[in-house]
Amino acid sequence: MELDPDAIGLADPVEPAEIDLGGGVREVGVPTPPPRLSPSGAGTFEQCPRRWRHRYVDRLPDPPGEAALAGSFAHRVLELLMQRPPEERTPDAAKKIAREEWPETEAADDFAALGFDDEKSRRFRWRAWQAIEGLWKLEDPGAVDVAATEQDIEAELAGVPFRGIVDRLEREGDGLVVTDYKSGKAPSPRFRRPRLDQVLLYAAAVEADTGEMPVRARLLYLGQRPVGIDVTRKELEVVTEKLADTWAGINTACETDEFEPRTGPLCGWCPYLDRCPEGVKAVEKRNRAAVAAEAAHLAAAG
Ligand code: SF4
Protein backbone atom coordinates (compact mmCIF):
# COMPACT_ATOMS: atom_id res chain seq x y z
CA MET A 1 0.00 0.00 0.00
CA GLU A 2 1.30 3.41 -0.91
CA LEU A 3 1.64 5.81 2.00
CA ASP A 4 0.61 9.40 1.87
CA PRO A 5 3.53 11.12 3.65
CA ASP A 6 1.43 14.11 4.68
CA ALA A 7 -1.18 11.80 6.20
CA ILE A 8 1.40 10.46 8.62
CA GLY A 9 2.36 13.92 9.73
CA LEU A 10 5.84 13.89 8.22
CA ALA A 11 5.43 17.29 6.73
CA ASP A 12 2.46 19.08 8.20
CA PRO A 13 3.63 22.09 10.13
CA VAL A 14 3.15 22.23 13.86
CA GLU A 15 -0.09 23.91 14.87
CA PRO A 16 -0.06 26.16 17.94
CA ALA A 17 -1.24 24.13 20.93
CA GLU A 18 -4.24 26.37 21.54
CA ILE A 19 -5.50 25.53 18.04
CA ASP A 20 -4.43 21.91 17.92
CA LEU A 21 -5.87 21.07 21.34
CA GLY A 22 -9.04 23.03 20.71
CA GLY A 23 -8.43 25.73 23.30
CA GLY A 24 -10.11 25.91 26.68
CA VAL A 25 -9.11 24.18 29.88
CA ARG A 26 -9.98 20.49 30.15
CA GLU A 27 -8.93 18.05 32.79
CA VAL A 28 -6.14 15.79 31.58
CA GLY A 29 -7.24 12.16 31.38
CA VAL A 30 -10.97 12.91 31.47
CA PRO A 31 -12.53 12.37 28.03
CA THR A 32 -14.13 15.67 27.05
CA PRO A 33 -14.79 16.97 23.54
CA PRO A 34 -12.64 20.00 22.77
CA PRO A 35 -14.38 23.40 22.67
CA ARG A 36 -13.38 23.62 19.01
CA LEU A 37 -12.32 21.05 16.48
CA SER A 38 -9.31 21.71 14.26
CA PRO A 39 -8.58 19.89 10.99
CA SER A 40 -5.64 18.11 12.62
CA GLY A 41 -7.79 17.01 15.55
CA ALA A 42 -10.45 15.70 13.19
CA GLY A 43 -7.80 13.97 11.08
CA THR A 44 -6.25 12.27 14.10
CA PHE A 45 -9.62 10.90 15.26
CA GLU A 46 -10.45 9.67 11.75
CA GLN A 47 -7.10 7.92 11.58
CA CYS A 48 -7.35 6.31 15.02
CA PRO A 49 -9.63 7.16 17.99
CA ARG A 50 -7.13 5.62 20.43
CA ARG A 51 -4.39 7.91 19.15
CA TRP A 52 -6.78 10.86 19.50
CA ARG A 53 -7.39 9.93 23.15
CA HIS A 54 -3.69 9.75 23.93
CA ARG A 55 -3.04 13.08 22.32
CA TYR A 56 -6.11 15.16 23.16
CA VAL A 57 -7.33 13.60 26.42
CA ASP A 58 -4.19 12.20 28.05
CA ARG A 59 -2.08 14.98 26.47
CA LEU A 60 0.80 12.60 25.94
CA PRO A 61 3.66 14.11 23.96
CA ASP A 62 3.44 13.84 20.19
CA PRO A 63 6.69 15.60 19.32
CA PRO A 64 6.94 16.99 15.81
CA GLY A 65 9.65 15.45 13.72
CA GLU A 66 12.28 17.19 11.65
CA ALA A 67 10.06 17.52 8.57
CA ALA A 68 7.17 19.09 10.50
CA LEU A 69 9.52 21.58 12.16
CA ALA A 70 11.13 22.45 8.84
CA GLY A 71 7.62 22.94 7.45
CA SER A 72 6.71 25.26 10.32
CA PHE A 73 9.83 27.33 9.76
CA ALA A 74 9.12 27.60 6.03
CA HIS A 75 5.52 28.61 6.77
CA ARG A 76 6.67 31.37 9.09
CA VAL A 77 9.09 32.78 6.54
CA LEU A 78 6.46 32.71 3.78
CA GLU A 79 3.89 34.31 6.06
CA LEU A 80 6.21 37.25 6.73
CA LEU A 81 7.27 37.45 3.10
CA MET A 82 3.70 37.66 1.84
CA GLN A 83 2.92 40.43 4.32
CA ARG A 84 5.45 42.63 2.52
CA PRO A 85 4.59 44.91 -0.41
CA PRO A 86 4.49 42.94 -3.70
CA GLU A 87 7.78 44.38 -5.05
CA GLU A 88 9.61 43.22 -1.89
CA ARG A 89 8.58 39.56 -2.14
CA THR A 90 11.91 38.39 -3.52
CA PRO A 91 14.18 35.42 -2.75
CA ASP A 92 16.67 37.83 -1.16
CA ALA A 93 13.96 39.18 1.13
CA ALA A 94 12.98 35.62 2.04
CA LYS A 95 16.61 34.82 2.87
CA LYS A 96 16.81 37.86 5.13
CA ILE A 97 13.59 36.87 6.91
CA ALA A 98 14.85 33.29 7.30
CA ARG A 99 18.08 34.55 8.90
CA GLU A 100 16.09 36.76 11.28
CA GLU A 101 13.65 33.99 12.22
CA TRP A 102 16.18 31.19 12.57
CA PRO A 103 17.36 31.94 16.16
CA GLU A 104 13.80 31.50 17.47
CA THR A 105 13.42 28.10 15.78
CA GLU A 106 16.88 27.01 16.89
CA ALA A 107 16.11 27.93 20.51
CA ALA A 108 12.78 26.07 20.61
CA ASP A 109 12.53 22.93 22.78
CA ASP A 110 11.14 20.87 19.87
CA PHE A 111 14.22 21.66 17.81
CA ALA A 112 16.61 21.00 20.69
CA ALA A 113 14.92 17.60 21.16
CA LEU A 114 16.16 16.58 17.72
CA GLY A 115 19.69 16.69 19.13
CA PHE A 116 21.23 17.93 15.90
CA ASP A 117 24.92 18.67 15.56
CA ASP A 118 26.09 21.55 13.37
CA GLU A 119 26.04 19.49 10.18
CA LYS A 120 22.51 18.19 10.76
CA SER A 121 21.35 21.66 11.71
CA ARG A 122 22.82 22.99 8.45
CA ARG A 123 20.99 20.30 6.50
CA PHE A 124 17.76 21.17 8.31
CA ARG A 125 18.09 24.82 7.24
CA TRP A 126 18.87 23.75 3.71
CA ARG A 127 15.80 21.57 3.58
CA ALA A 128 13.59 24.39 4.89
CA TRP A 129 15.15 26.79 2.38
CA GLN A 130 14.40 24.38 -0.47
CA ALA A 131 10.73 24.53 0.54
CA ILE A 132 10.75 28.33 0.80
CA GLU A 133 12.52 28.79 -2.52
CA GLY A 134 10.07 26.31 -4.04
CA LEU A 135 7.35 28.96 -3.93
CA TRP A 136 8.94 30.72 -6.94
CA LYS A 137 8.60 27.55 -8.99
CA LEU A 138 4.82 27.74 -8.52
CA GLU A 139 4.03 31.44 -8.75
CA ASP A 140 5.32 34.97 -8.79
CA PRO A 141 4.71 35.93 -5.16
CA GLY A 142 4.75 39.62 -6.15
CA ALA A 143 1.70 39.05 -8.37
CA VAL A 144 -0.44 37.64 -5.57
CA ASP A 145 -3.17 39.96 -4.29
CA VAL A 146 -2.96 38.93 -0.64
CA ALA A 147 -6.13 39.43 1.41
CA ALA A 148 -4.88 37.78 4.62
CA THR A 149 -2.15 35.52 5.97
CA GLU A 150 -2.30 33.06 8.87
CA GLN A 151 -5.92 33.95 9.48
CA ASP A 152 -7.31 32.36 12.64
CA ILE A 153 -10.93 31.51 11.84
CA GLU A 154 -13.61 30.17 14.14
CA ALA A 155 -16.97 29.19 12.72
CA GLU A 156 -19.80 26.77 13.26
CA LEU A 157 -19.87 24.28 10.41
CA ALA A 158 -22.78 21.83 10.24
CA GLY A 159 -23.19 22.27 13.97
CA VAL A 160 -19.49 21.71 14.71
CA PRO A 161 -17.46 24.40 16.50
CA PHE A 162 -14.54 24.66 14.09
CA ARG A 163 -11.26 26.49 14.32
CA GLY A 164 -8.36 26.63 11.91
CA ILE A 165 -5.57 28.83 10.64
CA VAL A 166 -5.71 29.67 6.95
CA ASP A 167 -2.21 30.12 5.54
CA ARG A 168 -3.26 32.60 2.89
CA LEU A 169 -6.35 34.17 1.37
CA GLU A 170 -5.95 35.98 -1.91
CA ARG A 171 -8.10 37.80 -4.43
CA GLU A 172 -8.17 36.62 -7.99
CA GLY A 173 -10.29 37.98 -10.84
CA ASP A 174 -13.28 35.81 -10.03
CA GLY A 175 -13.16 35.85 -6.22
CA LEU A 176 -11.38 34.68 -3.08
CA VAL A 177 -8.92 31.78 -3.11
CA VAL A 178 -7.87 29.74 -0.05
CA THR A 179 -4.24 28.60 -0.16
CA ASP A 180 -2.35 26.28 2.15
CA TYR A 181 1.39 25.66 1.81
CA LYS A 182 2.67 22.11 1.97
CA SER A 183 6.33 21.19 2.28
CA GLY A 184 5.83 17.44 2.02
CA LYS A 185 5.65 15.28 -1.07
CA ALA A 186 2.75 16.07 -3.39
CA PRO A 187 0.18 13.25 -3.30
CA SER A 188 -0.34 10.83 -6.14
CA PRO A 189 -3.70 11.26 -7.93
CA ARG A 190 -5.60 8.79 -5.73
CA PHE A 191 -4.61 10.64 -2.55
CA ARG A 192 -5.37 14.10 -3.89
CA ARG A 193 -9.04 14.49 -3.08
CA PRO A 194 -8.80 13.58 0.65
CA ARG A 195 -5.91 16.00 1.07
CA LEU A 196 -8.16 18.83 -0.13
CA ASP A 197 -10.67 18.35 2.72
CA GLN A 198 -8.67 20.68 4.94
CA VAL A 199 -8.71 23.65 2.52
CA LEU A 200 -12.37 23.02 1.70
CA LEU A 201 -13.15 23.24 5.41
CA TYR A 202 -11.24 26.51 5.50
CA ALA A 203 -13.33 27.72 2.55
CA ALA A 204 -16.52 26.78 4.44
CA ALA A 205 -15.23 28.61 7.52
CA VAL A 206 -14.34 31.70 5.47
CA GLU A 207 -17.85 31.76 4.02
CA ALA A 208 -19.42 31.32 7.48
CA ASP A 209 -17.20 34.10 8.84
CA THR A 210 -17.39 36.64 6.02
CA GLY A 211 -20.44 35.67 3.97
CA GLU A 212 -18.28 35.25 0.85
CA MET A 213 -17.75 31.76 -0.52
CA PRO A 214 -14.22 31.35 -1.93
CA VAL A 215 -14.09 30.25 -5.56
CA ARG A 216 -11.09 27.93 -5.22
CA ALA A 217 -9.11 26.11 -2.57
CA ARG A 218 -5.62 24.79 -3.14
CA LEU A 219 -2.54 23.27 -1.68
CA LEU A 220 0.79 24.63 -2.87
CA TYR A 221 3.26 21.75 -2.69
CA LEU A 222 6.37 23.90 -2.49
CA GLY A 223 8.84 23.21 -5.26
CA GLN A 224 6.48 20.71 -6.88
CA ARG A 225 2.96 21.62 -8.00
CA PRO A 226 -0.32 23.08 -6.86
CA VAL A 227 -3.25 20.76 -6.15
CA GLY A 228 -6.54 22.62 -6.25
CA ILE A 229 -10.28 22.33 -6.48
CA ASP A 230 -13.17 24.62 -7.43
CA VAL A 231 -15.24 25.36 -4.35
CA THR A 232 -18.87 24.37 -4.87
CA ARG A 233 -21.82 24.14 -2.54
CA LYS A 234 -21.79 20.37 -2.99
CA GLU A 235 -18.08 20.07 -2.05
CA LEU A 236 -18.64 22.15 1.06
CA GLU A 237 -21.59 19.97 2.08
CA VAL A 238 -19.50 16.82 1.67
CA VAL A 239 -16.63 18.03 3.87
CA THR A 240 -18.80 19.64 6.54
CA GLU A 241 -21.00 16.52 6.80
CA LYS A 242 -17.84 14.45 7.21
CA LEU A 243 -16.67 16.87 9.92
CA ALA A 244 -20.06 16.51 11.66
CA ASP A 245 -19.72 12.69 11.57
CA THR A 246 -16.26 12.94 13.12
CA TRP A 247 -17.55 15.34 15.76
CA ALA A 248 -20.38 12.94 16.62
CA GLY A 249 -17.83 10.12 16.88
CA ILE A 250 -15.67 12.17 19.25
CA ASN A 251 -18.65 13.02 21.44
CA THR A 252 -19.80 9.39 21.60
CA ALA A 253 -16.29 8.16 22.38
CA CYS A 254 -15.96 10.73 25.15
CA GLU A 255 -19.35 9.78 26.63
CA THR A 256 -18.59 6.06 26.63
CA ASP A 257 -14.82 6.36 27.13
CA GLU A 258 -14.37 3.89 24.28
CA PHE A 259 -11.60 4.83 21.89
CA GLU A 260 -11.00 1.95 19.53
CA PRO A 261 -7.50 1.36 18.18
CA ARG A 262 -7.69 1.61 14.40
CA THR A 263 -4.59 -0.19 13.21
CA GLY A 264 -3.08 0.44 9.83
CA PRO A 265 0.16 1.28 8.03
CA LEU A 266 0.44 4.50 10.01
CA CYS A 267 0.93 2.65 13.32
CA GLY A 268 4.65 2.49 12.53
CA TRP A 269 4.78 6.28 12.88
CA CYS A 270 2.53 6.52 15.93
CA PRO A 271 4.23 8.06 18.99
CA TYR A 272 2.05 5.85 21.25
CA LEU A 273 3.00 2.52 19.72
CA ASP A 274 4.73 1.38 22.89
CA ARG A 275 1.45 1.54 24.84
CA CYS A 276 -0.72 -0.02 22.16
CA PRO A 277 -0.60 -3.86 21.86
CA GLU A 278 -2.89 -3.82 18.82
CA GLY A 279 -0.60 -1.40 17.05
CA VAL A 280 2.49 -3.44 17.94
CA LYS A 281 0.85 -6.54 16.46
CA ALA A 282 -0.06 -4.66 13.29
CA VAL A 283 3.50 -3.36 12.87
CA GLU A 284 4.99 -6.82 13.49
CA LYS A 285 2.62 -8.33 10.93
CA ARG A 286 3.61 -5.73 8.34
CA ASN A 287 7.30 -6.28 9.08
CA ARG A 288 6.92 -10.04 8.65
CA ALA A 289 5.06 -9.51 5.38
CA ALA A 290 7.81 -7.17 4.16
CA VAL A 291 10.53 -9.69 5.05
CA ALA A 292 8.60 -12.49 3.28
CA ALA A 293 8.10 -10.33 0.20
CA GLU A 294 11.82 -9.47 0.12
CA ALA A 295 12.74 -13.17 0.46
CA ALA A 296 10.33 -14.10 -2.35
CA HIS A 297 11.80 -11.35 -4.51
CA LEU A 298 15.38 -12.55 -3.91
CA ALA A 299 14.37 -16.18 -4.59
CA ALA A 300 12.70 -15.15 -7.86
CA ALA A 301 15.81 -13.19 -8.87
CA GLY A 302 17.76 -16.41 -8.49
S1 SF4 B 1 -0.30 2.34 17.32
FE2 SF4 B 1 -1.89 2.37 15.73
S3 SF4 B 1 -3.74 1.58 16.69
FE4 SF4 B 1 -2.33 2.12 18.33
S5 SF4 B 1 -2.85 4.21 18.93
FE6 SF4 B 1 -1.24 4.36 17.40
S7 SF4 B 1 -2.31 4.55 15.44
FE8 SF4 B 1 -3.80 3.79 16.93
Query: pLDDT tens across 114-126, in order?
Result: 899 999 999 999 9
The answer on 250 and 269 residing in a single domain is no
The answer on 70 and 56 residing in a single domain is no
Atom of ligand 1 nearest to the CA of 264: 2
Angle between helices 118-133 and 66-82 (to 10 degrees): 50
Instruction: Kindly state the average pLDDT of the residues 158-164.
Output: 97
The 10s digit of each residue's pLDDT in 241-275 is 999 999 999 999 999 999 999 999 999 999 999 99
Residue 1 has pLDDT above 90, yes or no: no
In short, whether 263's Cβ falls inside 6 Å of ligand 1 is yes
What domain count does the chain have?
Answer: 3
The last residue of one of the domains, among 110, 141, 172, is 141
Give the C-alpha separation, 302 to 225, whole Å: 41
The answer on 248 and 147 residing in a single domain is yes
Give the C-alpha separation, 249 to 49, whole Å: 9
> Are the beta carbons of 132 and 179 closer than 8 angstroms?
no
The answer on 147 and 51 residing in a single domain is yes
pLDDT at 3: 37
Residue 68 has pLDDT above 90, yes or no: no
CA of 192 to the centre of ligand 1 (A): 24
The last residue of one of the domains, among 112, 141, 170, is 141
Give the C-alpha separation, 172 to 16, whole Å: 29
pLDDT at 171: 97
Q: For a substitution probing ligand 1, which of 44, 52, 258, 276 has the most ligand atoms within 8 Å of its CB? A: 276
pLDDT at 20: 59
The 10s digit of each residue's pLDDT in 79-108 is 999 999 999 999 999 999 999 999 999 999
Which residues, 6+ apart, have CB-to-CB distance to 110 below 8 Å?
Answer: 14, 63, 64, 69
The answer on 286 and 205 residing in a single domain is no
Which residues, 6+ apart, have CB-to-CB distance to 114 below 8 Å?
Answer: 66, 69, 120, 124
The answer on 252 and 153 residing in a single domain is yes
Residue span of the structural domain in which 120 resides? 66-141
The answer on 210 and 170 residing in a single domain is yes
The answer on 237 and 123 residing in a single domain is no
In short, whether 272's Cβ falls inside 6 Å of ligand 1 is yes
The answer on 271 and 217 residing in a single domain is no
The 10s digit of each residue's pLDDT in 267-282 is 999 999 999 999 999 9
Residue 11 has pLDDT above 50, yes or no: no
The answer on 132 and 88 residing in a single domain is yes
The last residue of one of the domains, among 86, 118, 141, is 141
The answer on 251 and 163 residing in a single domain is yes
pLDDT at 301: 80
The answer on 51 and 37 residing in a single domain is yes
